[in-house]
Structure 1
Amino acid sequence: MRKGFTLIELLIVIGILAILAAVVVLTLNPAQLLAQARDSQRISDLGSIKSAVSLYLATATSTSISSTKTSTNSTTCWFGSGCNTACTAVSTSTAINGTGWVPIDLTQTSGGSPLSALPLDPTNDATYHYAYAGDATAKTIELNAILESTKYSPMMQSDGGNCANVYEVGTEPGLDL
């Protein structure tokens, strides 16, 4: 008598494993998990920049906010009543000395800048990128990004801003720069 598995037994086991693998892939949805990770990074990045600018405004002896609307990868910034405003500048520079895509010299922060470099969007393409707008008179800012995952996209409507399809954070009341 030979010991081993028959061809039918092997095919049944392989079939069961294939079904289990398909169920796991469909349940976990790796593309959605990656989108959630990128959105989490976007939310964290914009929060860090907002905190750094707030610290700069609170501690720097002489503050200057640029009114230039900038983006990290597109000429579309999503500011204003139409939420589809043309950017005046596109920059992928991560410098914190006022020459980066956030044109504020964070090196003037008392005790030094909390950021060593400005973050860029994890995708940083024409659709998914960061945008900046500032009000030099009121010394307020707005930072924007589009979120892509189904888990985080409702935050774009509930962030307090004026654009329902854009995630907006900043120091501007109403986030309507």
Structure 2
Amino acid sequence: MKTNSRGFTLIELLVVIAIIAILSVVVILTLNPAELLRQARDSNRISDLSTLKTAIGQYLADVSSPTLGFTAAGTTYTVCGESNTTSTAVAHANCGFTLNIYTVSSSDSRAVDGSGWIPVDFTDISSGAPIGTLPVDPTNANEMVYRYAASSTLVYELNAIMESTKQTNSTTGAAATDGGTDASSTIYAAGTAPGLAL
């Protein structure tokens, strides 16, 4: 009797598995998942700052006597997200520069009533606050926080540090083409005065 066995030999299976393994390694190295995650976080940062810029623009257009923060005339103030409550005039560890630094407690940091990390009361807008909570940086640790500065002349700057190779490119990255005056190609600036030197 003749048996008709159909199937693959062990060598054929090993060759196919080896080819699949080689292709998988090539695809993973080509896609660079770590860089893709950095690009995704940078996209969130750009989107968040755009949302905040739109919300502040709506606030300035709608409120009859707007204020972009604190009350000292002619002074630039800076706020960094998620930290302990402080008000100092020294370099803040999370911001890396010397200005009057105001931070808020973690429990209040996302509030849109002026007590959040952006001291603008979005609830004063006649149609209500355009955002439910203030966004924070996807990483939100050490230098990876959102920053805000405003002057008494109702100009402001928001910025964030970009981390992906794509967005930190010195000629085509978002940080290089944002109009800001920072020499670093890692800091993305948005607002009506991206030259406040935040």
Q: Which residue of 2 aligns with 1:152?
A: 167
- Answering whether residue 78 of structure 2 is matched by residue 69 of structure 1, we say yes
Are residues 19 and 44 of structure 1, via their aligned partners in 2, closer, same or farther at CA, if it must alter by over 3 Å? same
Q: Which one-letter code corresponds to 1:90 in the other structure?
A: T
Cα deviation, 1:41-61, whole Å, max 9, x if unaligned, reads 100100110111111111102
Report the TM-score when normalising by structure 2: 0.79
C-alpha displacement of 1:62 = 2.1
Q: Which one-letter code corresponds to 1:174 in the other structure?
A: G
Identity among equivalent pairs (%): 48
Q: Which residue of 1 aligns with 2:188?
A: 167
| Larger helix proportion of the pair | 1
C-alpha displacement of 1:101 = 0.4
How many residues are paired up? Answer: 171
Q: Which one-letter code corresponds to 1:172 in the other structure?
A: A
Q: Which one-letter code corresponds to 1:168 in the other structure?
A: A
How is 1:24-63 mapped onto 2 (pairs within 5 angstroms)? 24-63=27-66
Bigger Cα Rg: 2
Unaligned runs of 5+ in 2: 71-76, 84-91
How is 1:83-162 mapped onto 2 (pairs within 5 angstroms)? 84-85=97-98, 88-91=101-104, 92=106, 93-135=109-151, 137-153=152-168, 154-162=173-181
Q: Which one-letter code corresponds to 2:28 in the other structure?
A: V
Alpha-carbon RMSD across the aligned residues, in angstroms, is: 1.9
C-alpha displacement of 1:86 = 5.4
Report the TM-score when normalising by structure 1: 0.87
**Distance of 1:36 and 1:175 partners within structure 2:** 26
**Distance of 2:194 and 2:37 partners within structure 1:** 32
Report if aligned partners of 2:79, 2:147 keep a CA contact under 8 Å in 1.
yes
Q: Which residue of 1 aligns with 2:6?
A: 3
